[in-house]
Amino acid sequence: MTGYVVRRVLRAITTLLGTTLIIFVLVRVVPADPAVSIAGPKADPETLAMIRKDLGLDDPLVVQYGRYLGRLARGDFGRSYMSGRRVAEVIADRLPATALLATTSLALGFLAGLVVGIVTAARRGSAIDVAVLLGTLVGLSIPTFWLGNILIYEFSYRLHLLPLGGYGGDWRLDSHLLLPAATLGIGEFFFYARFVHTNVGGTLASDYIRTARAKGVPPGRLYFMHALRNALIPIVTLLGLDIAALMSGVVLTETVFNWPGLGRLAVQAVFSLDVPLVSGTVLFSAVLVLFANLVVDLLYGVIDPRVQRG
Amino acid sequence: MRRLAWLLALGALAAACAVPLDPPPSGAPAGDEPPRSGGVLRLGDAEDPRYLDPARGYDVVSWSFEQMLFNTLVEYDQGTNIVPGLAETWTTSPDGRHLSFRLRHDVVFSTGRPFTAADVKFSLERLLKPSIHSQGAEFFHGLEGATDYIAGAAKEVRGIRVPAPDRVEFDLIGIDPLFLHKLAMPFAAVVDREAVERFGDDDFNAHPVGTGAFVLQEWVYGQRLRLARNPRYFRAGRPYLDAVEATIGVSPQLAWLKYQRGELDVATIPPAEYHRVLADPRYRPLLISRTTLRTNYLGLNCEVAPFDRVAVRQAMNLAINKQRLLELADGQGAIANSILPPDMPGAGPVAGYPHDPEAARLKLGEAGLADGFETTLWAYRDPEALRPAQSIQEDLHLIGVTVNLKPVDFPALIEAVRHPGTVSLFLLGWEADFPDPSNFLTVLLHSRSRDTNNNTFYANPEVDHLLDEAEPLLVDDPRRFRLFHEAEVLVMRDAPWVPLLHPAGSAVRHPRVRDLELHPLRPSRVEGVWLAW
Amino acid sequence: MALTGLGSARRSRRFLAAGVVLVGALTLVALAAPWLTAYDPDAIVVAVYRGPLGPGGAHPLGTDTLGRDVWARLAYGARTSLFVGALAMAISLLIGTAVGLVAGYFGGLVDAALMWVVDLVLTMPSLLLLIVLATILPPSILTIPLVIGIIGWTTFARTVRGEVLTLRERDYVQAARALGAANARIIVRHLLPGVLPGVVVLAALGMSGAIVVDAGLSYLGLGVPLPTPSWGRMVSDSQTYIAVAPWLVFAPGLSIALAVVGFNLIGHGLIDLVERR
């Protein structure tokens, strides 16, 4: 087990380094004048010179990269030049909102998808099968931002049921969260529903289960003990892959609903030409995804010891 | 299955119809009662105010909050007349170069510390400090010793004298008929030296301390800003309000819906709703209109090809369909054919350019660009600002000019246009800070303003000369406005701008809000606002 | 992640047919756009602008917030979506297939290194990475597909690699190696045809994915620049008018959904039909 953990952690670290390298290259190497890119167009020549010296932009790239890593390790993501605040601070401000939205959406979508997937897998008749496959295919084709707008139109403008975006503040699970979580969660729902339906359905049809039934094991136990456990393993993998997709979905959902999270922050930073903020936010998101994947993989290793040998 | 599909289709069809206009919140919009103390004014903003520090803020949102927190020596009344603020009385010397102010004795900062003349000196010197990078500093370069102070050759501005704790005196290099107006600008607001020293220049923005009607109670970035009544405010009985609370992150659409539900007290009307709201009798008593001294314009960078050629700039003027821009703005305002808005004192008729795409093509041909050219237009990325941008893009396409749109955030836009050689074409507007042509012509088109607001980098020595000549003349001297007018005519001929519109703005108020007046030059003073319930 | 088929060939054919119909209609609209509408999609066609016009009369889907014909923008927008989608998918396909072939065939260190890169790309939230690129690169009808393509090749790589791992154990491949054939020749002549069916499936699904990503980017304002009509952009431009002119939001969004559904139907329909085990 420890060998697996070590290997997985090592891999996560190297991937993390790779990610920082990509961001570093994009920010320092690609733009014509990185100092202007970092300090912003309003900086006067003295500030630019200071930035060049401070960041060592005249040093060899390797040295610069090393320094950049050192800064990141200390939590220094630079300063947003639009507000002057430290990027780490700005991210910390916005993180709770995104965390709330992402976890709620994932929880809702995953659970609903799980339930529907299991229930429909049990009734694997032709009509239901087609309905699920077709339904999830269509459901997954609906653009998140369009769905968000439609929900706003129906529930906020027409029915006056729910507030139009914005944020309840702090960790309140209130009505402001409902529509954004529904928008993002619906996508998750279709995703997991299809997968669980296919996988659990496949497991139920397997010889192992049929043998158990033949031996007289009652249906209830069958579903929730055997089928689910076997289907759980690939589902856990899926969760890991899903986190990255979730972050992308979060960006769109936050924009539609004016939700003050990291996704909307990144988009705003682009239009403020605020390179430190953009790169800091993206890097932070990547780290989150990496960490989540690591946790999922380690969990996977516990659930299915076979994978440790992989 | 098929029935379900039909139901869904019908539902979708029914759903895709316009939503009827909801009524405004209920309640009597006006009455005879006297002003009443108490209540919280609820506002909504999409973003946090950029600044609360008066030395830095130069936009409408920042100024509206700064006015709540700070005071200036003099202020405007409901119109454009100068009335006492922190100063009770003042005199001007016969040669116009020395002003002496006697200050009120009953003013204290919100911390309790008494306000004295030394605070005035401190605030203005802070404004001039190079490290503050204030855009308002230029207004006070006319003080004696200001340039030395800025260059670091002097430790203080000798033109600001404090002969007594309740007297402050100014010495100017030359006559400045607008000096009082400049002192009425939020840049000249008095800040608490102790707070500045304690928090530092940069963090004073988050911990502002002034003499104003309100104090900053809470600022949670991205969520809310709350200003509470200052019990020590020197105007007895004011402010009426207990507090002003601004919810941040509220888009204009959301603000509108919240307003209709009675959750916000003031809201701007979303352009989508304009026609319906203006035609609706239920909203009429709640409308607040504002004619502003503002010109929206297309700026042409005179230092970047091909806009360094007059013929090209004139072609741009001829190509733009301003009538359609006015239509896109729902008719709110008037077409602009000159630099100065028509309500500006001293504004006179200027010939301007007609909408004539054929003539525009000919002009391009004159400049040797008959095949057109490609350029980039920088604009504020708000969808409402991008609509005129796209209209302009289409107009220019018709004369062979390919325009790439670059939408950016507003702060990024106003910073980028200052950089020579960075922005060739941009969409901006300018609103008068004080009611005088110099606030447009000198600030935006004099060659010495190239580092601040002359973002077209326009430089015409003849125009400069006219502006310099006009500046020291007294306001009621007929030559002043005549010289400015001559300068304006020259500028229009050189066409560094395509003046587009003089917009008007509308907003709606909650029926309980009383005495909310829109001022032509400044955001409303909230200290006089009261809530009927 | 292995894609599961639909379980029956008949069902697959039906899905495939439905998808072909949708995509066919879409392509037809895109190609025939100039004949399907009298208007230039970028031109402002109302004489006087008084707000968006509803469907009816001279404008089958009304006019938008600038006075342009909505149906024209929708039809020409199909061109944008298809072009960007196809180009992005092609780039992903080329990079991903090449990587998958090389990684699967050579194995060992090469494989490990390439799969590490795949992991890297997969970890980065794609939309956010695209956002960073948008800050740096000027957006154009060529750079957007390039950027989307560079992010999206990982599925191709993984799937192709998986197939290659199986295929390279086959007799004819072993024989070719034993005979001393050049690696490149083996890859191109023996392995490539074997992975093609899977690649075709992924191509269809890749199209749908690219269209969605492009729509999302356009929605955020980071896609193909104005005034080129783009469905995602049409949604974001008119969402503030949704209460007054909801069709401005519904129509482009529906178009995106239909295009994506079409390609997804084709992709999923093909899975069972191309598999040759």
**DSSP element (H, E) containing A292:** helix A275-303
Between residues C92 and B273, the one the model is more confident about: C92
At C101, list the tokens: 């072939």
- Among B85, B122, B119, residue whose Cα is nearest residue B104: B85
Question: 3-state class of A43 per DSSP?
Answer: coil
- Burial of residue B148 (CB within 10 Å: 0-12, 13-18, 19+) is middle
Our CA dihedral for A98, A103, A108, A113, rounded to 10 degrees, sits at: 110
Distance (Å) from the C-alpha of residue B352 to the closest C-alpha of chain A? 33
Q: For A124-154, write each residue's pLDDT tens digit.
A: 667 788 888 888 888 888 999 999 988 888 8
**DSSP element (H, E) containing B295:** strand B294-300
Identify the chains in contact with B, defined as 3+ C-beta pairs within 8 A: A, C
pLDDT score at B322:
95
Any chain C CB within 8 A of the CB of A271?
A: yes
State what percent of residues in chain B have pLDDT above 70: 97
pTM of the predicted protein model: 0.83
Other C-beta atoms lying within 10 Å of the C-beta of residue C51: 21
Q: Is the pLDDT of residue C131 over 90?
A: no
Q: Tell me which chain B residue has its CA closest to the CA of residue A83.
A: B50
CA atoms within 13 A on the CB side of C208: 26
Q: For C107-116, write each residue's pLDDT tens digit.
A: 889 998 998 8
List chain A residues with CB under 8 Å of B23: none
Give A47's pLDDT tier (boundaries 50, 70, 90). low
Any chain A CB within 8 A of the CB of B21?
A: no
Give A213's pLDDT tier (boundaries 50, 70, 90). low
Q: For B51-103, write each residue's pLDDT tens digit.
A: 899 998 887 888 989 999 999 999 998 777 899 999 999 999 988 899 999 99
Residues 6+ apart with CB under 8 A from C96: C152, C153, C154, C155, C156, C157, C160, C202
- The Cα A190–Cα A168 span in angstroms is 27
Give A310's pLDDT tier (boundaries 50, 70, 90). very low
C-beta atoms of B408 and A273 within 8 A:
yes
Distance (Å) from the C-alpha of residue A4 to the closest C-alpha of chain B? 43
- The Cα B150–Cα B409 span in angstroms is 31
Q: Is the pLDDT of residue C277 over 50?
A: no
Q: In what order do the strands lie in the sheet with B224-229?
A: B40-45, B243-248, B224-229, B214-220
- Among A186, A143, A250, A244, residue whose Cα is nearest residue C151: A244
Q: Is the pLDDT of residue C1 over 60?
A: no
Mean pLDDT calculated for residue range C260-272: 90
Any chain C CB within 8 A of the CB of A286?
A: yes
Query: Measured between CB atoms, which of A146, A248, A285 is closest to C235?
Result: A146
Do the beta carbons of residue B321 and residue B391 sit within 8 Å?
A: yes
- The Cα B409–Cα A82 span in angstroms is 10
- Among B381, B399, B301, residue whose Cα is nearest residue B390: B381
Q: Is the pLDDT of residue A242 over 70?
A: yes
Query: Measured between CB atoms, which of C4, C126, C265 is closest to A248?
Result: C126
Residues 6+ apart with CB under 8 A from B239: B213, B214, B229, B230, B233, B526, B527, B528, B529
Q: Is the CA virtual torsion A7, A9, A13, A18 positive or negative? A: positive
φ/ψ region of A169 (left if φ > 0, alpha if ψ in -120 to 50, else beta) reads left
Distance (Å) from the C-alpha of residue C71 to the closest C-alpha of chain A? 18
Residues 6+ apart with CB under 8 A from A244: A289, A293, C122, C123, C124, C125, C126
Interface test mutation site (partner B, options A33, A36, A38, A42, max chain B beta carbons within 10 A):
A42
**DSSP element (H, E) containing B405:** strand B401-408
Interface test mutation site (partner B, options A134, A164, A264, max chain B beta carbons within 10 A):
A164
- The Cα A264–Cα A271 span in angstroms is 11
Query: Measured between CB atoms, which of B253, B383, B397 is closest to C237?
Result: B383
Distances (CA, A) of B62 to B99, B190, B296, B458: 29, 16, 20, 28
Compute the count of residue pairs across chains A and B with CB atoms less than 8 Å apart: 74
pLDDT score at B444:
93
List chain A residues with CB under 8 Å of B416: 41-42, 273
Highest mean pLDDT among A196-200, B129-133, B464-468, C236-240: B464-468
Mean pLDDT calculated for residue range B240-250: 90
pLDDT score at B5:
57
pLDDT score at A224:
60
Between residues A2 and B350, the one the model is more confident about: B350
Residues 6+ apart with CB under 8 A from B178: B434, B436, B438, B439, B475
Any chain B CB within 8 A of the CB of A93?
A: yes
Distances (CA, A) of C48 to B326, B331, C63, C73: 10, 11, 12, 19
- Among B31, B24, B18, B20, residue whose Cα is nearest residue B281: B24
- Among C244, C88, C215, residue whose Cα is nearest residue C153: C88
Residues 6+ apart with CB under 8 A from B402: B372, B373, B374, B375, B396
- Burial of residue A216 (CB within 10 Å: 0-12, 13-18, 19+) is exposed
Residues 6+ apart with CB under 8 A from A53: none
Q: For B296-321, write each residue's pLDDT tens digit.
A: 999 999 999 899 999 999 999 999 99
Query: Measured between CB atoms, which of C50, C51, C66 is closest to B390?
Result: C66
Residues 6+ apart with CB under 8 A from B21: B273, B276, B277, B280
Other C-beta atoms lying within 10 Å of the C-beta of residue A84: 10
- The Cα B492–Cα B353 span in angstroms is 9
State what percent of residues in chain B have pLDDT above 90: 55
C-beta atoms of B249 and A260 within 8 A:
yes
pLDDT score at A123:
67
Mean pLDDT calculated for residue range B346-371: 90
**DSSP element (H, E) containing C158:** helix C154-167
- ipTM value for the complex: 0.86
Q: What share of chain C is helix, strand, coil (3-state, %, to 5)?
A: 70, 0, 25
Residues 6+ apart with CB under 8 A from C32: none
Interface test mutation site (partner A, options C10, C127, C133, C236, max chain A beta carbons within 10 A):
C127
C-beta atoms of A143 and C128 within 8 A:
no
Give B397's pLDDT tier (boundaries 50, 70, 90). very high
Query: Measured between CB atoms, which of B17, B270, B394 is closest to C246?
Result: B17
Query: Residue for token digits 């040669």?
Result: B95
- Among A58, A164, A214, residue whose Cα is nearest residue C243: A164
